[in-house]
Structure 1
Amino acid sequence: MNKYAQKLTIKWLWLFLLFLILLLAVQTWFSLHPIPADLGFDPSRVRKVQIVDRNYQPLTVTYQNRWNLHETVPLHKIPKALQHAFVMAEDKRFFEHSGVDWWARAHAMLQNIRAGRVVRGASTITEQSVRMLHPRPRTFWSRWLETFEAWQLERHFSKSEILEFYLNQIHYARQRRGVLQAARDYFDRDLDTLALKEMLALSVLVRSPGRLDLRKGFKEIRRPLQVLAKRMLDAGLINAAAYQAIVQDKIHLQQPEALIQASHFVRYLYQDYATQMPATLSKRLQQKGRLHTTLDGELQHYAWQLLNQRIADLQTLGVKNGAMLIVDHHSKHILAWVNSGDFKRENPGSQIDAVITPRQPGSTLKPLLYALALQQGWTAATLIDDSPLTEAVGTGLHQYHNYSRSYYGRLRLRDALGNSLNIPAVRTAQFVGIDTFLKTLNQLGMNNLDQHPDFYGDGLALGNGEITLLELVGAYATLASQGIYQPLQLLMQQTPTVGHTVFSPEVCSIIADILSDSDARRFEFGHSALLDFPVQTAVKTGTSNDYHDAWAVGFNHRYTVGVWLGNLDRQPMQQVSGATGPALLLRAIFAKLNQYQETQPLYLSPKLYQAEICRDSGQLATQKTEKIQTTADCATRMEWFIAGSHANALVAQTTQKQSAQPILRLKQPVNGLRLAHDPRIPDALEAFDLRLPHDLPTLAVEWLIDGKVIAVTGKTITQQSWPLQTGEHTAQARVWLKSTGEKPEITPKVDFHVF
């Protein structure tokens, strides 16, 4: 080959080499990933948010995110000994190089050649950080790219920022990231409480998180741990005594402390609550990958323990489940959302959230009913008749009775509500109207009551519909908030929903005063100390039919609390009522809530005023007129009335409205009634009562069956027994009234059937 050809060949070789270099440069340029603008929190990294309580204590821990977003520690709070251990173990010239330790690479290459296999990688902390930011297959090409990206990373961020990122994101076993997660996983402690040997163990584990995992034993880690300790001793980072302690001391592992039991709350937040929020609001509330909730973790745990203990005490009476809800009605924040048992265990009903499971509320709706009656003109002194009451239900009759099976005659609204009497409640429901009452309950957020008013009938006053504990507590929080309803909140920094007025402040004040009045409960409950709290608290209990549900709900100046006990499989309890079951829990929770608070009495509207009334008649006790009883004629007490209305006029007006002449008709039987003989009673002894309104001012009554007079009764007698006879019948009554004198009136015919 001549010289010209040689030169031409060399020229083409150089051109080819330059082309390869250019191609490598271009390929490298386009393969490099951009360096992030910030090594801190990035919302795009969030796959699943963490739920924290109001004090930022975790209610959930997730390891599903690619990054450690929730348990990071600023570098100045990471112990210096731990920082030194990592630098010595992973990159002893970290503070000297510019991203790549070429000396370490050369030394590692020689070691690998001698061993005939890869025994050392020599990746710096900066390169490992690049690998976490931009994961790639472990190839020479990847190492080539990481070299440039490590250099770029060091240009954009300081050594301290890179080391902080590395210590918070480095991989450990079981999807843990960062030294804090690892410390809590292995030792159940924070970084500043770790022993020196534990710190060194964390720095060694990152070499092979799976192989060296402490949960698998300590054999594999013993040798590298001693080597690192010796290197730190030689570097003057630890003294001889510390070295000996590292060699001799044992590592003690601990199981991480269980999270606060709030699984049902978290599930509701994920599935029902957060999904209803606009996307823009949801993103704004997810700060640093967290949802900051209103829950108080300490109170949640205390209430959970208390509830489980109470259920254990009542287990022999067939109580298996319970729930509790605690609310700060000033802020509308839910502080505790408690279900009994353990969500993760196979307990009966453990996966069912009793806070949002509809159940019959028993008597707990009565304060809302009487509030509506006060809104419509009644007063706390209004007289309501508590006497036997039978009403038509379909083609049958239902006889209402009080819990104690006692009747008290005419008594004031205060006593009717305080003693939770059923018959006055039914008469009050008839006064306000079931449709109006149902609309009011819907305004209070009770959306589970979604049937037609006829579906519930008068029984709605006694709780024959089904509502949730969440709905019930929300309604009582409205009474505690001067009648303004606002949905309860689960998230901090969320703008409260604009509320609407359901009751006036004056009405709410009177209801609260009645529910906190132990004297008003004296007939049915006696002067029970259990319901008479040290700090003024409005308390109501409730029990559904056959003891399926027991409730206690109340509020003081700041908090509203509701408790439910029962069985989620719908089995009845053994005579566990609201007063004997959950009331004790309610008292204990309010004692806890008041422990560190400056207490106050319940809100009392300044538009109310007090007047002295007679206990029996409800009229003013005054000597100003001869028509009204004097203080000498009656036992008196003070009663609250709404300003702007004359107390005695209100009493007289409502009493008169109650005692207006009833419609002339038979109360019993009702049209279409179907009666059956009782096989346990001889036919000759079976009888059925024909009835007129009990307060009808009669002079005489002729009772007619199938057009024939079967009996005549005298003055003020409004019922008559009739021996049962099989077949189709009609019933009527011919009545002589005081107002009509000698001219009788006859009731419409009523058809009924006996079989």
Structure 2
Amino acid sequence: MKRKIFIFFMLIFSSFFIADFFYPLDLNALKPAQSPILYDKNGEIMTIRLNENGDFMIYAKNVPEILKKSVLYFEDRYFYYHFGVNPLSIFRAFFHNLTHENRIGASTITMQVARMISKNERTYANKFIEIFRALQLEMHFSKDEILNIYFNLAPYGGNLSGVASAAKFYFNKDLDKLSYSQMALLATIPKNPNKNRLDKNGDTALKNSVLKRLYQAKIIDFNTYKRSKNEPFVKQRLNAIYNAPEFSKIAIKNGIKNSQYELEIHKNLLNLLRVKMRELNDKKAFNAAGVVIDNKTMQVISFIGSHDQNAKDGKNSALKMKRNVGSTLKPFIYALALENGLITPRKKLVDTQIYIGNYAPQNYIGQFYGVLRASDALAFSLNIPFVALNEKLGQNSLYELLKKANLVDKNADFYGASIALGSAEISLLNLAHLYTIFANNGVLKPLKMAGDFVNNQTDEIALLTPQSAYLTAKALSNATRANLKNAWEFAKNSPKIAFKTGTSYGSRDLYAIGVNQNYTIAVWVGNFNALKTESLTGLNDVSSVVFEMFKLLSFSKKMEFFTQPNGISYQKTCVDEFVFNECKSYENDEQILGVSPINSCESIRGEELDFMLKNAIITQDDVAKSPCDFKNKKPLIASPAQNSQIQTDTNQSKIMIKCYSFFGKNIHVKINDEPYFNATSGDEILKILPLGEHLVSCLDEGSNFSQVDFKIRR
């Protein structure tokens, strides 16, 4: 008999091992399909997405012991003693279900795992398959491994899979941060996940009932029981975490799990933008964006494409939006002018009317400053001096710098002279990237955002010399109380930064940018639909966000300003607007070694010469004795422009004729075939002319001749 029994069991075991060989466990089914999760630099979840099964699943490595004991108490008290199947429970459930309407189950934890990986209908035939799979699990895995699989596969209501997902969505906590009452509530869900889900049927009574049973089972002590009973219960299920949507989308696409993003910085910037926009909404500004770059790692560590998805047009994003960037490009003209010998920081510039073809730029304040230092022109963000400097740079102008950086896609003529005032449309991210050159010795280093290279740049590009980059950043940092106006209150307690603002035409786009050795922060405010705001400016209405952000960063991060590179010296320097016979004003000023002042004769404009003569900065004698060959320099016809077409709704139009002479104060003007008449250089001469083509000629005292043709049409 014993032999027969032995053979019987040997046949059973042999059959099991044969079946296990031919019908092995699906090991892939034991590995839950995790939700794509993106973590920030400090391990905090930034974004969680649905997995391939349409569930939220966060993998749990270490499940708290109390939670394990609680689940085993409610689900399978003999888990560590049976071999995957509990015969006593099966018999008890069988006889109970024969005699009672309410049915009970007999599945062990191991059998539940077997059912989760097969997901077959609950029939008696499938129950035998479930038992077979449970035995396989017990043979191939330890008890603790099976229990961990259970916690990661168990349903927790709706589309929540796994206990870590439940902890995050019901309580916004990691497993190791759960309270005893929270763990107790989670232990009740898998038995009937849709009925027991906490956001539908959870309440304080359920919580206290579960706690009492755990206390009676001596899983928790009396003090824990009393303390946990007093813990309030909130019936909720949180929305999926979805911070930094632009960054997260790119990172998940690139398969990144652990990013360099800093969620705390993101939240601080987002909060500052939202506070600011509440102030500006009544001035017709509805959208804002911001970016923070770590200048040392060249990583985007915060990007907010839209401060509020629910704002007007707020579902748009500034990530790829290109706009006029206003005055934010002037520092690069200043730097180019330094390294090409056009200026030194204390060099005097002439701020007066300038004419470049049809283009006659104005300062934002609507008036001219006259003579002021180059560094002051930058601090006050005057338009005309920088348009003039950029023209004088010739083939070393702002356009060439932007072209090297791959930030322009048209030829120079397309942008014209207005490029100095931001007409080359650039995205906020690319603009911030450009400003990082001040922290990197004038070199535009590749910038990464969520694994992608910004603007597809993979090589370093030298845009400025280290010396011009430093001197420009220093000038940008020396803004005075008068320059900053009401922004001073925010700036005075902030770390030292190079700072610039910009405002596009019609106050459509407002910018503020700050940079030090560590970080670059750029902010945009405006409207995604490009509508005008009510006379807002980057300086008055946006700058506080950048200063406050640097202040917040300084509480936890190291802040450094730029170190002066070699190749800069203080020297006795001529700071005259233009040097004719001899220098009239010498000052100690910073100079880049090896850079010689450019020839004033080549760079002077007729408008500037006229201003200096009329304001007695120079005399006609200075001009006559100058080494410049003004006697052979053609007059400048400022208005009308060559080949211009002037429109009118009548049969005639009033035209302004303006000629500047480089030699002598008198100029002779001729219109069409009429005789010449005398005028003073720079005078505004108004003439009424009929429709058709016209020719204006100007002749100076040295017989130098210029002419332009233009057309008046209806």
Bucket of the pairwise TM-score, normalised by the shorter protein: 0.7 to 0.9
Secondary structure of the corresponding residue to residue 162 of structure 1 = helix
- Secondary structure of 1:60's counterpart equals strand
SS in 1 for 2:266: helix
* 1:57 aligned onto 2:44: yes
Matched, 1:483 2:471: no
Distance 1:514 1:435, change over 3 A: closer
> Distance in 2 between the 1:302 and 1:29 partners?
56
The AA in structure 2 aligned to 1:79 is P
The aligned amino acid for 1:88 is Y
Partner of 1:596: 556
Deviation at 1:109, TM superposition (A): 1.8
The answer on 1:556 being equivalent to 2:506 is: no
In the TM superposition, 1:400-479 aligns within 5 A as 400-409=361-370, 411-433=372-394, 437-446=398-407, 449-479=408-438
SS in 2 for 1:59: strand
- Are the aligned partners of 2:324 and 2:422 in contact in 1 as well (CA < 8 Å)? yes
Tell whether the 8 Å contact from 1:63 to 1:176 is kept in structure 2 after alignment.
no
Q: How far apart are the structure 2 equivalents of 1:244 and 1:609?
A: 75
Correspondence for 1:79? 64
The aligned counterpart of 1:316 is 282
Q: 1:141 to 1:541 in 2, by over 3 A?
A: same
Distance 1:216 1:428, change over 3 A: same
- Structure 2 residue 65 is the aligned partner of structure 1 residue 111: no
Distance 1:203 1:527 in 2: 55
Residue of 36, 39, 44 corresponding to 2:27? 36
Per-residue CA deviation, residues 595-633 of structure 1 (Å, 9 max, x unaligned), is 2334322232122112244655588xxxxxx9544xxx6
With over 3 angstroms needed to count, the CA separation of the structure-2 counterparts of 1:709 and 1:410, relative to structure 1, is farther
The SS at the match of 2:68 is helix
8 A contact 1:333–1:489 mirrored in 2 = yes
- SS of structure 2 residue aligned to 1:84: helix
CA contact (8 A) 2:57 2:162 kept: no
CA RMSD of aligned residues (A): 3.9
* Residue matched to 2:159: 175
Output the CA distance in 2 between the equivalents of 1:361 and 1:527.
Answer: 20
Corresponding residue for residue 99 of structure 1: 84
Deviations 1:142-167 (A, max 9, x none): 33233333223223322122212212
In structure 2, C-alpha distance between the alignment counterparts of 1:579 and 1:195, rounded to whole Å: 49
Name the SS of the counterpart of 1:719 in structure 2: coil
Partners of 2:434 and 2:80 in 1: CA distance: 63
The residue type equivalent to 2:321 in the other structure is T
User: What one-letter code is carried by the residue in structure 2 that aligns with 1:600?
Assistant: E
**2:303 is paired with a residue of what secondary structure?**
strand
For the 8 Å contact 1:304–1:339, the answer to whether it is kept is: no
Could you tell me how far 1:307 is from its partner in structure 2?
A: 0.6
Q: Deviations over 1:649-671 (max 9, x none)?
A: x33x3434323545445332233
Question: Aligned partners of 2:599 and 2:145: how far apart in 1?
Answer: 77
Find the residue that maps to 1:707 and give its secondary structure. Answer: coil
Take 2:396 and 2:602, find their aligned partners in 1: how far apart are those partners?
20
Q: Residues 225 and 113 of structure 1: is their aligned pair in 2 closer, same or farther, counting only changes over 3 Å?
A: farther
CA contact (8 A) 2:487 2:540 kept: no
CA–CA distance in structure 2, aligned partners of residues 408 and 722 of structure 1: 26
From the superposition, tell whether residues 61 and 598 of structure 1 become closer, same or farther in structure 2 (CA, over 3 Å).
Answer: closer
From 669, 677, 681, give the equivalent of 2:640. Answer: 669
| 1:367 corresponds to 2:331 | yes
Equivalent in 133, 136, 143 of residue 117 of structure 2: 133
The alpha-carbon deviation at position 60 of structure 1 amounts to: 1.5
Displacement of 1:508 after TM fit?
0.9
1:7 corresponds to = none
Contact 2:319/2:427 (8 A) holds in 1: yes
Deviations 1:668-706 (A, max 9, x none): 223333335698xx99xx854322346x12253221112
Match of 1:12 in 2: none
Contact 2:251 2:450 in 1 (8 A): no
- In structure 2, what is the equivalent of residue 567 of structure 1? 527
User: Take 2:152 and 2:525, find their aligned partners in 1: how far apart are those partners?
Assistant: 45
Do 1:702 and 1:733's aligned partners in 2 also have CA atoms closer than 8 Å? yes
- Cα contact 1:518–1:528 (8 A) shared by 2: no
Number of aligned residue pairs: give it.
675
AA of the residue aligned to 2:262: D
- The answer to whether residue 700 in structure 2 is matched with residue 735 in structure 1 is yes
Match of 2:476 in 1: 515
Secondary structure of the 2:49 match is coil
Q: Tell me, what secondary structure is at the counterpart of 1:576? A: coil
Post-superposition Cα deviations, 1:232-275, rounded to whole Å, max 9, x if no partner, equal 566543567777888998744355388474223334545xxx4x
Report the 3-state secondary structure (helix = DSSP H, G, I; strand = E; otherwise coil) of the residue aligned with 1:535: coil
Kept after mapping to 2: 8 A contact 1:702/1:711? yes
Shift, 1:587, TM fit: 1.1
Q: 1:238 to 1:614 in 2, by over 3 A?
A: same
Contact 2:56/2:159 (8 A) holds in 1? no
Letter in 2 for 1:317: K
Distance 1:706 1:656, change over 3 A: closer
Answer whether contact 2:30 2:117 (CA < 8 A) is retained: no
C-alpha separation in 2, matches of 1:325 and 1:564: 9
Larger mean CA deviation between 505-514 and 656-665 belongs to 656-665
**Structure-1-length-normalised TM-score:** 0.79
Written as runs of structure 1 = structure 2, the 5 A alignment for 1:384-395 is 384-392=349-357
Asked if structure 2 preserves the Cα contact closer than 8 Å seen for 1:366 and 1:461, the reply is: yes
- In structure 2, do the counterparts of structure 1 residues 641 and 585 end up closer, same or farther at CA, with 3 Å as the change threshold? same
CA 1:98–1:29 in 2, change beyond 3 Å: closer, same or farther? closer
Q: Tell me which of 495, 517, 526 is aligned to 1:535.
A: 495
Aligned to 2:219: 237
The answer for unaligned runs of 5 or more in structure 2 is 1-7, 605-627
Q: Distance in 1 between matches of 2:353 and 2:221?
A: 91
Residue 592 of structure 2 corresponds to residue 642 of structure 1:
yes
Counterpart for residue 464 of structure 2: 503
Q: In the TM superposition, what is the alpha-carbon distance from 1:545 to its structure 2 partner?
A: 0.7
Distance 2:192 2:590 in 1: 76
Q: What is residue 618 of structure 2 aligned with on the other side?
A: none
Contact 2:289 2:307 in 1 (8 A): no
Deviation per CA, 1:271-317, whole angstroms, max 9, x where unpaired? xxx4xxxxxxx45xx4xxxx222221111111111111111112222
TM-score (norm 2): 0.84
Question: Does 2:243 match 1:265?
Answer: no
SS of the residue 1:563 aligns to: strand
**Number of the residue aligned with 2:706:** 747
Q: Specify the SS of the correspondent of 1:316.
A: helix
Aligned in 2, Cα 1:69/1:39: closer, same or farther, shift over 3 Å?
Answer: farther
Amino acid at match of 1:499: E
Amino acid at match of 1:640: E
Query: Structure 1 stretches of 5 or more lacking a match?
Result: 1-16, 275-281, 620-625, 738-743
Q: Identity over aligned residues, as a percent?
A: 24
Cα pair 1:388 1:423 within 8 Å, conserved:
yes
Would you say 1:306 and 2:258 are equivalent positions?
Answer: no
SS in 1 for 2:330: helix
CA distance in 2, matches of 1:174, 1:643: 70
Amino acid at match of 1:489: K
In structure 2, give the amino acid aligned to 1:366: K
Partner Cα separation in structure 2 for residue 249 and residue 592 of structure 1: 34
| Cα distance in 1, alignment partners of residues 247 and 331 from structure 2 | 28
